[in-house]
A and B are shown apart, each in its own frame.
Chain A
């Protein structure tokens, strides 16, 4: 099976305190720690496991800039066979539809049986996978937490409300967005990354892909600014030493029936 996994380099929200620039144009990016979007790691792991079971190759692709190469290498260190970087100044400011059309052009340059994305990325949109499928006229299933290969079809589980699982049969080729928890993404150490450090990663620009109308000008959805919402009621923040905070909390908990 030829599998393509779409991955994105994002600020790691578990590692960073996100703050907004004074003029609201962006978040403070100077000291951010970046990593592979959490969901995309699960997608890559799933692709590797499927390949190891039924044969084929795993290609990871990203729309980004030269710095995004590092996440392609990281996923190759996990076990992906190939990486493709899609980079062009003309891609800057693309909305999800723009990203999906860039990816769609890259898909058409290859021949893939299965395309995986993460369920969502740092902008929480969960948009690119479903758009990509519709552009390619392929069937789609989102929030997939189980994949079983059955000939020219897949049996996939979708995670729905309450942790229930919706089982579907889907024809290949198809696009799936992968939900966390589907597997346990393998750890990559620094040595693994060193091994793939000199592997050539082909880069395609807008001309090579034949895409136009993407980037900021083509975006139908645009960000005006980032802002801090007016503080709501908010929590009463307990101050003092650790001991003082805990004493105060215990008092409150007793009043609320949280402690006998």
Chain B
């Protein structure tokens, strides 16, 4: 079986939750694999991150380079191409970094690529058996990945639960000397923090959250009325912000805010993983959607199959009345 590597995301010396998830996924490919974590960076926090990774991995490769102080995928891709042996399997989290890194890395390694993997059903020789979702989560698919020449997989955060991760106690090896040429035609400049809005949706216990099902800017008022009647705050999914119907600070999801309400009302929201990724703390989720097959019903506690344009005003009336 091919060697398996996991690229570890970390911040301020703390490894991301996905580090342990990639270790779990690796074991699903090959239960006996001695998986190597690759931790890149520069400066004082790198050692702490390596120690964090060592908890879940048999080996840790540390690469300490000033060019890697910020994880610029163009630079990391070159690095991995230089240090990972041919025909290896590389696992990366399917986050905004993994999406930036993965596809190009597979080409440079001449390896297969599968992204946003949600399940792994083992391997049959050099064929990996994986599960993905298509059509906004409305169809699941079994796929095979020919890993004869290696493979790069990005794994959906949260899909591989870290509970049964084998203990690591891995040794850290400094591989900085092998990094090779890291010159890139893309230069990282800076991170601009998201603007804060008038409301802080993260502070509200009850969120009335609307998605594309609200259909028109004119209908936003319906949700505002319901929120007012319930003593709640209006939040939304991404398309509502893209359309500029509500400000960015109201967006729930991986590229928006992470909220921890007691009650989350998802109205006309399909339930994409990027949206659900912003809902933490197991709130009581109520989903109202006209499509009984909408993925949101898989995660909601209570579901109502209705047109929200009729449901919302009716509910407002009941609550106010």
Residues of A at under 8 Å CB distance from B? 11, 13-14, 17-20, 27, 96-97, 100, 119, 122-131, 133-135, 138-143, 155, 157-171, 174, 180-181, 184, 220-229, 231-232, 234-238, 242-243, 245-247, 249-250, 252-253, 256-260
Q: Closest CB of chain A to B320's CB: distance in Å?
A: 11
Q: Are the CB atoms of A166 and B191 closer together than 8 Å?
A: yes
Whether B185 pairs with A258 at a CB distance below 8 angstroms is no
Which residue in A125, A131, A164 is a CB contact (below 8 Å) of B194? Answer: A164
Whether B112 lies near A221 (C-beta < 8 A) is yes
Residues of B within 8 A of A141 (CB): 74, 100, 186
Question: Please, could you name 24 A-B residue pairs with CB atoms under 8 Å apart, sorted by A?
Answer: A13-B270, A119-B99, A123-B134, A123-B135, A124-B116, A127-B102, A134-B103, A134-B108, A140-B74, A142-B96, A161-B95, A163-B256, A164-B193, A165-B192, A167-B189, A167-B190, A174-B186, A221-B112, A221-B143, A235-B301, A236-B302, A237-B297, A256-B263, A258-B284
Would you call A227 and B262 a contact (CB within 8 A)? Answer: no
Could you tell me if A13 and B138 are in contact, using CB atoms closer than 8 angstroms? Answer: yes
Contacts of A259 in B (CB 8 A): 230-231, 319
Residues of B within 8 A of A131 (CB): 103-104, 106-107, 113
**Does any Cβ of A come within 8 Å of B169's Cβ?**
no
Checking A11, A135, A160, A225 against B107 with a beta-carbon cut-off of 8 angstroms, the contacting residue is A135
Given known pairs A14-B212, A124-B133, A169-B186, the reply for A242 and B104 (CB within 8 Å) is no
CB contact between B134 and one of A122, A228, A257 (< 8 Å): that residue: A122
| CB-defined contacts of A184 to chain B, threshold 8 Å | 243-244
- Chain B facing A: main interface SS: mixed
Whether A140 and B186, one on each chain, are in contact in the complex, defined by CB atoms closer than 8 angstroms, is: yes
Among B115, B239, B244, which residue has the most Cβ atoms of chain A within 10 A? B115
- Which A residues lie within 8 Å of B244 (CB)? 184
A169 touches B134 (CB 8 A): no
- Answer yes or no: B44 CB below 8 A from chain A CBs: no
Bound complex: CA A237 to CA B300 (Å): 10
Instruction: Flag if B242 contacts A165 (CB, 8 Å).
Output: no
**A125-B115, A221-B145 known; A167+B96 contact, CB < 8 A:** no
**CB–CB A133/B104 < 8 A:** yes
The interface residues of chain B lying within 8 Å CB-to-CB of A229 are: 140
B276 at interface by CB-CB < 8 Å: no
How many angstroms from the CA of A8 to the CA of B60 in the assembled complex?
41
Contact with A along B41-69 (1 / 0, CB 8 A): 00000000000000000000000000000
B263 touches A253 (CB 8 A): yes
Kindly state whether residue B162 has any CB partner on chain A within 8 Å: no
Shortest beta-carbon distance from A20 to chain B in Å: 6
Q: Which 7 A-B pairs have the closest CB atoms?
A: A130-B103, A235-B303, A258-B263, A134-B107, A134-B104, A163-B194, A220-B112
Chain B's nearest CB lies how many Å from the CB of A102?
14
Query: In whole angstroms, how far apart are the Cα atoms of A224 and B6 in the complex?
Result: 26
Cα(A160)–Cα(B231), bound, Å: 32
Q: A165-B194, A256-B262 are in contact. List 10 more A-B contacts (CB 8 A).
A: A127-B103, A127-B115, A134-B106, A168-B188, A171-B185, A180-B238, A222-B144, A235-B298, A247-B318, A258-B205
Closest to A171 in B: B185
Judging by beta carbons under 8 Å apart, are A258 and B140 in contact?
no
- Residue-wise, chain B 116-147 has the 8 Å CB interface mask toward A (1 for contact) of 10000000000001001111101111111110
Contact of B293 among A14, A19, A133 (CB under 8 A): A19
Question: Can you name the residue of chain B whose Cβ is closest to the Cβ of A130?
Answer: B103
Q: Determine the distance from Cα of A234 to Cα of B257 in the docked complex, in whole angstroms.
A: 25
Asked whether, in the complex, the Cβ of B135 is within 8 Å of the Cβ of A221, the reply is no
Binds A, one of B29-37, B216-224, B309-317: B309-317
Name the segment of B19-27, B173-181, B247-255 touching the other chain: B247-255
The answer on a CB contact under 8 Å between B140 and A142 is no
Most chain B C-beta atoms within 10 Å of own C-beta, residue among A119, A162, A180, A223: A162
Cα–Cα, bound, A75→B141 (Å): 31
By a CB distance below 8 angstroms, the chain B residues around A174 are 185-186
Query: In whole angstroms, what is the CA distance A19 to B291 when docked?
Result: 11
Q: Are A250 and B99 in contact (CB under 8 A)?
A: no
Tell me whether B79 is interfacial, beta carbon within 8 Å. Answer: no
Residues of A within 8 Å of B298, CB to CB, are 231-232, 234-235
**Quick check: A158 and B100 within 8 Å, CB to CB?**
yes
Within the complex, what minimum Cβ distance (angstroms) separates A210 from chain B?
18
The reply to whether B241 and A235 form a contact with Cβ atoms under 8 Å apart is: no
